[in-house]
């Protein structure tokens, strides 16, 4: 029943799962739910990495999977939750465009990713599907960043973009692990910096809505 192409199907299923969770991130408007879905996103990434490790028989990918699980699925969401609670950030996230339009645009982005990766289809149709899903996750993450007013939500979008990039990179056989480790360390450093900034912005303006900064800069009447 499971078929000859089970290894590839499983990889596509996990990648498709990441795309679905990206869509879920797109229509959430509560901050806590957004953080949990980010954790789910990272969990799907960890499973995808583990599966790739199993398929390619590359042990260093298991390390990458464990890293994704511990850092991106557990530590970062916990840190974000601590921030939200500690700074008493506003729990609802305003979106700039309506949910329906955002989702329709998201579907268009998935279509675009599939079309863009077409040249890869001539080499290997299975890699084409992997890459197009990964590109879709990246584009959807960017869309999340663009359509949210809340700085915290924008950070979550950025993190999902990073997840997508990791997924793309790992699908290609033989990618060195050190790059992945480097990006992960960079992320952790970035998170610490963001946390400090959030604290400062919140103390000064009592809000992390980026529109407040516009008023401060004098760009909004």
Partner 1 sequence: MDLPFALCLVSLLIGAAALIAPVAGRSWASVALYGLCLGVSSLLLVIGLWSLVAMGGGAEAPLLWLPLGIPGQGVHFRLDGLSAFFLIVINLAASAASLFAIGSGRHEHAPHRVLPFYPVFLAGMNLVVLANDVYGFLFSWEVMSVASWFLVIAHHRQPENRRAGYVYLIMAALSTQMLLVTFGLLSGFGAHLDFDAIRATPPSLDIARLALLAVVIGTGAKAGLVPLHVWLPLAHPAAPSHVSGLMSGIMTKVAIYGLVRVTFDLLGPPEWTWGAGILLLGGTTAVTGVLYALMQHDLKRLLAYHTVENIGIIAIGLGLALAFRANGFQMGAALALTAALFHVLNHSLFKTLLFLSAGAVLTATGERDLDRLGGLIRGMPITAFCFLVGSAAISALPPLNGFVSEWLALQAILISPELPQWILKFLVPMVGAGLALSAALAAACFVKAFGAAFLGRARTAAAERAVEVERSSLAAMLILVAACVLAGVLPGLVVDALAPVTTLLVGSHLPNQITQPWLTLVATTPERSSYNGLILMVFIALSASLSAFGVHRLASRRRRRAGAWDCGYPETSPATQYTAASFAQPIRRVFASVLFSAREKIDMPAPGDSRAARLTLTIRDPVWALLYRPVAVAVTTAAEIISSALSLSIRQHLGLVYGTLILLLVVLALWQ
Partner 2 sequence: MIQSLLAQGFQMMLVLAVAPLVIGIIRKVKARLSRRIGPSIFQPYRDLIRLARKDTVVAHNASWLFLVAPYIVFAAIWVAAALVPTYALGLIFSWSADIIVIVGLLALARFFLALAGLDVGTAFGGIGTSREMMISSLAEPAMLMIVFTLSLLAQSTQLSSIAHYMMTADVGLRVSCGLALLGLVMVTIAENGRVPVDNPATHLELTMVHEAMILEYSGRHLALIELAAALKLTLYLSMLTCVFLPWGIALNGAKLPVLGLGVLIYLIKITVASAVLAAFEVTVAKMRVFRVVDFLNFALMLGLLATLLLFVSRSI
111 or 183: CB nearest partner 1: 111
Q: Taking the mean position of all CA atoms in its chain, how far away is CA 125?
A: 24
3 sits in the region (left: phi over 0; alpha: psi -120 to 50; else beta) called left
Smallest distance from partner 2 to CB 183, Å: 26
Smallest distance from partner 1 to CB 115, Å: 6
Give the position of tokens 């992960």.
Answer: 184
Rg (CA), the chain: 18
What, of partner 1, partner 2, none, does residue 174 touch, CB below 5 to 8 Å by kind? none
Instruction: Determine how many CB atoms are found less than 10 A away from the CB of residue 51.
Output: 19
120 or 158: CB nearest partner 1: 120
Sequence-separated (6 or more) residues with CB below 8 Å from residue 128: 117, 118, 120, 121
Site track 85-104 with partner 1 (rule: CB under 8 A), x = hit: -------------x-xx---
**193 binds partner 1, rule: CB under 8 A:** no
Site track 20-49 with partner 2 (rule: CB under 8 A), x = hit: x--xx--x----------------------
Q: Which of these segments, 19-27, 50-58, 145-153, 194-202, binds partner 2 (CB under 8 A)?
A: 19-27
What, of partner 2, partner 1, none, does residue 172 touch, CB below 5 to 8 Å by kind? none
């Amino acid at each position: 029943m499971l078929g000859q192409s089970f290894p590839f199907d499983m990889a596509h299923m996990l990648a498709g799962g990441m795309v679905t969770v990206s869509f879920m991130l797109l229509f959430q408007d509560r901050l806590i739910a957004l953080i949990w879905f980010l954790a789910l996103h990272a969990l799907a990434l960890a499973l995808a990495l583990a599966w790739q490790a199993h398929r390619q028989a590359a042990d260093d990918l298991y390390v990458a999977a464990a890293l994704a699980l511990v850092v991106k699925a557990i530590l970062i969401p916990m840190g974000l939750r601590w921030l939200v609670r500690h700074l008493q950030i506003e729990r609802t996230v305003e979106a700039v465009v309506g949910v329906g339009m955002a989702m329709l645009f998201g579907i268009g982005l998935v279509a675009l990713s599939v079309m863009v990766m077409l040249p890869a289809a001539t080499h290997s149709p299975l890699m084409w599907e992997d890459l197009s899903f990964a590109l879709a996750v990246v584009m959807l993450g960017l869309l999340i960043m663009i359509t949210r007013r809340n700085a915290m939500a924008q950070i979550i979008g950025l993190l999902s973009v990073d997840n997508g990039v990791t997924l793309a990179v790992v699908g290609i056989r033989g990618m060195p692990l050190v790059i992945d480790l480097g990006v992960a360390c960079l992320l952790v450093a970035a998170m610490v910096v963001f946390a400090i900034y959030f604290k400062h912005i919140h103390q000064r303006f009592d809000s992390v809505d980026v529109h407040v900064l516009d008023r401060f800069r004098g760009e909004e009447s």
